[in-house]
Amino acid sequence: MYVAVKGGEAAIDNAHRLLAEVRRGDPAVPELTVAQIREQMALLVDRVMAEGSLNDPDLAALALKQARGDVVEAVFLVRAFRTTLPRFGASVPLDTGRMTLSRRISATFKDLPGGQVLGPTFDYTHRLVDFALAAEGAPEPAAEAEPREDAAATPRVTDLLGRDGLIEPSPPDDGSPLGDITREPVDFPCDRATRLQALARGDEGFILALGYATQRGYGRTHPFVGEVRVGTVAVEFVPEELGFPVPLGAVQATECQMVNQFHGSRTVPPQFTRGYGLVFGQSERKAMAMALVDRALRAGELGEPLASPAQDQEFVLAHCDSLQATGFVEHLKLPHYVDFQAELELVRRMRAEFEDRREVAE
C-alpha cells in the first residue's frame, strides 16, 4: 500500500529543473519545434493520438516534446489534458466508405473496383539505413498521374462480398445507447462496441502481440486482409442550437477489414466472418492487430472454444491500456515505507519463530 509522505519539495523542484535542461539536450543543437515533430515524426504523433484517444496533432506533438519522445508519458499528458475540457457531444458516425484515400490495399482481391493504391508506404523498401537522410536536402518530388475514372468510387471489399451473402453483415445499428469507457467502468461481459473503443485506444504493442498470438495458434481465426485503407474522413457534429450536421473538418484514419474463417450451421449457410479495426492517423499495424483481436474476442458469440488470452475480453480489456498499465506498474516505485516496514517485521518474527523451533528440535 502506498502511504503519503512529506518532504523532498526542494529535491523535486530541482529534479524537474534538471529534467527541463536534459529535455533540451545539447544547446548547440537547434531546438525542435512542435511543427517539426508534427510534420516529420508524424507516425509517432499518430500513435500518441490513437492511444491518447484524442485527435489533435499539435497537442500530441507538443506532448511528445514535453515527454522527451516517451510515448506512454505523452499519452498520459494528452489524457490529462482532455479531462480539463467539456464534452460537446458525439459526432455523426464517420463514413469510412467516403474516405479521401491516400492508400488502399487488399490481400483478397487484386482487381478491386476503384483500384489499389500503395500511397506513402514502407512496404517493399529494402530496410537499408539511408545515410543520405543524415544530410539535409529536399527529396525528389513525388510522381503524379491522372486518377483513373473508377477511382472516385471505392466500395469496401466487405460490401462486395456482402452482396453475394458470402460474408456476415455488420451488426445493425439498432439505435440503442452507446456505452463509453471514459464515463463508466466496464462491466464484463461487454458488447463489441465497448471492446472496439478499448482496442482503438489500447497499447499498440499489446494489441499487436495478442493479434500475433492468434496467428500462431492461440485463438486462431484464419484471417485475410480484405482491405486496409488510409485517408482523411470528414467529421460532422449536430449541435443542439443548429439541428443539422456541421462539418468540423477532416481527420486522418486507418481502417482494416479482416475477413476470417467461415462459419455456418444447420440453419445458416457457411459464410466468412469479420474482424474490424479503425484508428486515428496512419497505423496499419494497429488497425490490423485490432481487427485480429476484435475477431478473436467474438469467439464466444461464434461458438468457438475459449482457450486463449486474446479471446478473453476481461484479460484483453483490463490490460490493453498503456496508461493504466504504466500507472499500476510504476506506482511500485513510490514510497511504500510503512508497508515494507510491516513486511520486514513479519519476516523477522517468522525467522525468530523458525529459530526457536529448530533449537527445540535440537
Partner 1 sequence: MPDVSRGSGTEARRAVMALCAAATGAELAGALAGLGTPEAEDIRAPEVGLVMATGRIGGDGRPFNLGEVTVTRAAVRLADGRTGFAYHLGRDRRRARHAAILDALWQGEADRRGVEAALGAVARRAADEAAAQARRTAATRVDFLTLARGED
The DSSP-derived string for 19-49 is HHHHHH--TTSPPPPHHHHHHHSHHHHHHHH
Q: Which CB atom, from 182 or from 341, has the smaller least distance to partner 1? A: 182
115 or 327: CB nearest partner 1: 115
Alpha-carbon gap, residue 66 to 48, rounded angstroms = 13
Residues 6+ apart with CB under 8 A from 298: 192, 273, 275
Q: How far is the CB of 34 from partner 1 (least distance, A)?
A: 12
Q: Are the C-beta atoms of residues 315 and 199 closer than 8 Å to each other?
A: no
71-108 burial, b at 16+ Cβ within 10 Å, e below that, comes to bbbbbbbbbebeeeeeeeeeeeebebeebebbbbbbeb
Strand 246-263, strand 224-237: pairing: antiparallel
Nearest approach in angstroms of CB 141 to partner 1 is 9
CA distance 319 to 132: 41
Q: Least Å distance between CB 130 and partner 1?
A: 19
CB of 117 to partner 1, least distance (A): 5
Q: Which is nearer to partner 1, 25 or 115 (CB)?
A: 115
- The nearer residue to partner 1, 22 or 83, going by C-beta atoms, is 83
Closer of 32 and 105 to partner 1 (Cβ): 105
Residue 193 contacts by C-beta under 8 Å, 6 or more apart in sequence? 178, 179
Name which of 55 and 326 has its Cβ closer to partner 1.
55
Q: How far is the CB of 210 from partner 1 (least distance, A)?
A: 19
In the bound state with partner 1, the residue whose beta carbon lies nearer, of 67 and 258, is 258
Smallest gap from Cβ 127 to partner 1, in A, equals 19
Least Å distance, CB 150 to partner 1, is: 10
Amino acid code (one letter) for 104: R
Minimum separation from the CB atom of position 294 to partner 1 (A):
9
What are the phi and psi torsion angles at 154 (to 5°)?
-130, 80
CA dihedral 159, 165, 166, 171 (to 10 degrees): 60
Cell of 150: 473508377
Letter for the amino acid at 279? V
Closest CA to 289 of 198, 191, 214, 197: 214
* Residue placing its CB nearer to partner 1 in the complex, 218 or 224: 224
